[in-house]
């Protein structure tokens, strides 16, 4: 069973981060690959471009975003399985770039990964 934690990709890397997994579809602005110290970039597990744009216009509809994103993740079972095999019992940190730590898609992804694990 893997332990997943959440962290902004802009926060400094720490040894207890374990495997650092970027779960954004776009590379974070102003950050080099060396600076981010990302081990895995799972673009396919990020919200679709359409859903991301929808949420930017409808930021007050967190529950609906969650429902739609979970539906997208349900169609990504192969990518989820690959990620779980890659992490395989190790500590892992899901990295995201948004400022709002309380409402990020990475929280939803973490729940999905932990429910399966």
Residue environment code for 36-67, b if the CB has 16+ CB neighbours within 10 A, otherwise e: bbbbebbeebbbeeebbebbeeeeeeeeebbe
pLDDT digits (tens, 9 = 90+) for 58-105: 989 999 999 999 999 999 999 999 999 999 889 999 999 998 888 999
Other CB atoms within 10 A of residue 78 CB: 9
Domain extent listing, the chain = 3-116
What residues contact residue 11 under an 8 Å CB cut-off, 6+ apart? none
Cβ pair 72, 48 in contact under 8 A: yes
Residue 1 — pLDDT band, cuts 50, 70, 90?
low
* pLDDT (average), residues 40-55: 96
Single pTM value for the model: 0.92
Q: Which position has the higher pLDDT, 35 or 62?
A: 62
67-39-76 Cα angle (round to 5): 30
């Amino acid at each position: 069973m893997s332990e997943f934690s959440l962290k902004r990709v802009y926060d400094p890397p720490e040894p207890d981060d374990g495997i650092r997994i970027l779960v954004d579809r776009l590379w974070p602005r102003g950050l080099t690959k060396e600076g981010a110290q990302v081990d895995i970039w799972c673009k396919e597990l990020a919200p679709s471009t359409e859903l991301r744009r929808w949420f930017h216009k409808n930021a007050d509809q967190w529950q609906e975003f969650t429902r739609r994103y979970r539906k997208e993740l349900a169609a990504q079972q192969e990518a989820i399985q690959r990620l779980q095999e890659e992490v395989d019992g190790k500590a892992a940190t899901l990295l995201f770039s948004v400022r709002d730590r309380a409402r990020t898609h990475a929280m939803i992804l973490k729940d999905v990964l932990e429910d399966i694990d």
